[in-house]
Amino acid sequence: MKLRGVKMAIPGFVAALASMSLTAAPPSMADPTPESCNYPACTPGIAPHVVLGANCSNTTYYVFGVTDWGRLVFCGSPRRYEPRWFRSPEMHGVKVENADCAGYDGEVAQAPDGLFLTCVPKDGAALWLRGDL
C-alpha cells in the first residue's frame, strides 16, 4: 500500500515539533491525587537510573525507582541486610493510607506524602498499609 503525501507531511510535522518549547512540569506542579493517579508514570519522586540490587537508603518514603531499561524497583530491607533495590510488585500510583484496596492484595502504591504502601488483607478487608513494616 502506497501512502501519497506522507513524505511531504512528515518533514512539516518534525519542523513544527522542533519549533515548540517542550518542558516537563516539576513534580511539585504535578500533584497527582489518589483518585487520578493509578500508575507509576504519574507518581512523583520515582528515582531514575537505579541499579537493581544496588544499595539504597530510604525504605519508608519515596522508595520507588526505575532502571535504565525501564524496570520499576523499590528500596527494601530484607532481614539482617542493608537496604537495596528489588523488583517491584505491581504499582498502583498514589493511594491513601488505610483506604480500601480490595483486589490489589500484595501490590504496592505511594501515599501523597511519599509513604510506601502495600495492600494487605486484614480482618476480612484489604487496606493500603505502610509497606516498610
What are the tens digits of pLDDT across the range 75-128?
Answer: 999 888 899 999 999 999 999 999 999 999 999 999 999 999 999 998 899 999
Amino acid identity of residue 60, one-letter, is: T
Q: What is the pLDDT of residue 88?
A: 97
C-alpha cell at 98: 488505610
Phi and psi at 130, nearest 5°, equal -50, 130
Cα separation, 30 vs 34, in Å, equals 12
pTM here is 0.74
The three-class DSSP label of residue 18 is helix
C-alpha cell at 23: 518542558
